[in-house]
Structure 1
Amino acid sequence: MASSLLNSEAPCRVPALFTGFEDLIAAESTRHGGVSPAPFSSLNLGINTADEPANVEENRRRFFAAIGASTYPFASSYQVHGTEILYATEAGRYEGYDALITNKPGLLVGVTVADCVPILIYDARQKAVAAVHAGWRGTAGKIVSRTLTRMQDQFGTRATDCFAYIGTCIDECSFEVGPEVAEQFESAFKREDANTGKSFIDLKKANAHLLVNFGVPEKQVETSSFSTVIDNRDYFSYRVENGTTGRMLAVIGLKYEQIVEG
């Protein structure tokens, strides 16, 4: 399932896959609607950038307001391109994790990206969620499979009950890599340019394969049709902007109402 078109200069978009779940908040940001000047223009949500902290704080306030989550606590981590997973039970800025899972109503979890793949997962039966940061290292390390395994162990999650969104990232046509990276991916997820001998990796396809291979029904997987490189006007790209740019957020969580209804 491919994602729908982006509204012009919207600060965020909600994956179509999740719109039918009234108990869920899930969205990814764009680069529009913030206060940051160039080169972070304008909705930079990255704490670990050279942008003014006050700008990032205001941008985050605007983003969470736009998704109806102004009062929600938020858990995230300083990401290290690894495969460690945190079971988050309270708000905080953690360190060393590239995926967060929770089943706590009213708590949002999220990851920051600017070319890497954000993946949001919702277990509709056990009412649990996950936010995953999958760059090429995380993808090669099968972090999304590890996250689903952790959800199985922690919540009793079944893959068939899961809905997953593969968010906006660098696309295959733009992700040129050297042989040391290419050799870590199966042939189905890489392409070699006959003229240059360079390899290109499809991170979206590789992560979709991991999800489906784990048992998530293909019809319950949505992939963003946007690219941080091709659609750089709407999204931040670390590669295009030579490392000096903002970050997007992809967040997911159960609404507060679940406390009452549960």
Structure 2
Amino acid sequence: MIVSNASRLHITPAIFYPFPGLIAAESTRHGGVSPVPFASLNLGINTTDGPSNVNENRRRFFETIEASTNQFASSHQVHGTDVLHATEAGRFDGYDALITDKPGLLIGVTVADCVPILIYDHEHKAVAAIHAGWRGTVGGIVTKTLDRMKQQFGTSAEHCYAYVGTCIDECSFEVGPEVAEQFESELKRVDAETGKGYIDLKRANTKQLTAFGIPFAQIGVSPFSTVLHNTDFFSYRAEQGQTGRMLAVIGLKS
């Protein structure tokens, strides 16, 4: 469990420790200025939190990772599978994954239960940030992003390191039969007593990474859950939609 204190604004995935030229982080909910129900490091632009709060929170977050908001590219996410090759900072629309090989440019995705996936191709110095809810997972957004990296940068699996970030856990992600039927049997569980279905999004997206050929030893998976560790992370489901958003970002230092 994370120690809840104002200094812990983000987590650096251990899988990326060997790469000093890389910035990679996912935020927590600590250390911001937003009031309840967005307490406190709400980084989500599309919330009803005050814009001045979100701007200050973003300034604090980027400062802790030694970056700034004016070198950040993101998108209004639509739970789709489109991938943006980002070449400049800015706020785009309609993409749930971004890729870049431009030094000094950070890319990232906003989450509050969905899975953030960060990828680093250390051979070609290229990165990806992916937002995968159940729709994006079923649509193969991780596979499509890696295919786009291969096309754009020459990325190959053996040179990739990946992080499957903090999201809703399998024991909390109850879904209806119309959703459960879209997942392979190994990725879902039906409670024998209640008949309710549960989906493992971390495992589903990890499977797409390994299917591309990334060695399992080069994949890190967050041990945290937005629901079980709700005091440290925002959860849209646990907080019934009235909550903040986290960022997962990655990029090459200038």
In 1, the alpha carbon distance for the partners of 2:28 and 2:195 equals 34
Distance 2:17 2:2 in 1: 15
Matched with 1:151 is 149
| Aligned counterpart, 1:260 | none
Please report how far the alpha carbon of residue 187 of structure 1 lies from its aligned counterpart in structure 2 after TM superposition: 0.5
- Tell me by how many angstroms 1:6 deviates: 3.6
Q: TM-score, normalised by structure 1?
A: 0.95
Instruction: Measure the CA separation in 1 of the matches of 2:142 and 2:160.
Output: 12
1:23-48 CA distances to partner (integer Å, 9 max, x unpaired)?
10000000000000000000000000
CA contact (8 A) 2:28 2:232 kept: yes
2:206 is aligned to 208
**TM-superposed deviation, 1:71:** 6.8
- Structure 2 unaligned runs (5+)? none
TM-score, length-scaled by structure 2:
0.98
Partner Cα separation in structure 2 for residue 54 and residue 15 of structure 1: 29
CA distance in 2, matches of 1:6, 1:206: 25
CA deviation string 1:198-248 (max 9, x = no partner): 100000001111100110000000000000000000000000111111000
What is the identity percentage for the equivalent residue pairs of Structure 1 and Structure 2?
70
- Is the contact between residue 40 and residue 51 of structure 1 (CA under 8 Å) also seen in structure 2? yes
Residue in 2 aligned with 1:195?
Answer: 193
**Paired AA for residue 191 in structure 1:** R
Shift of 1:70: 2.8
Question: 2: distance between equivalents of 1:40 and 1:72?
Answer: 24
Structure 1 segments unaligned to the other structure (5+ residues):
257-262
List per-residue Cα deviations over 1:89-142 (Å, max 9, x = no partner): 000100000000000000000000000000000000000000000000001111
Aligned partner (choices 239, 242, 248) of residue 240 of structure 2: 242
* Counterpart AA for 1:228: T
Pairing partner for 1:81 from 63, 75, 79: 79
1:1-262 correspondence to structure 2 within 5 Å = 6-9=2-5, 10-70=8-68, 73-256=71-254
Aligned residues: 252
Cα separation, 2, equivalents of 1:217 and 1:6: 28
How far the C-alpha of 1:20 sits from its partner, in A, is 1.2
Alpha-carbon RMSD: 0.9
Partner of 1:259: none
Partner Cα separation in structure 2 for residue 188 and residue 71 of structure 1: 40
**TM-aligned CA deviation for residue 19 of structure 1:** 1.1
Amino acid in structure 1 at the alignment position of 2:230: N
Summarize the Cα distance change of 1:194–1:186 in structure 2 as closer, same or farther, 3 Å threshold.
same
Q: CA deviation at 1:7?
A: 4.6
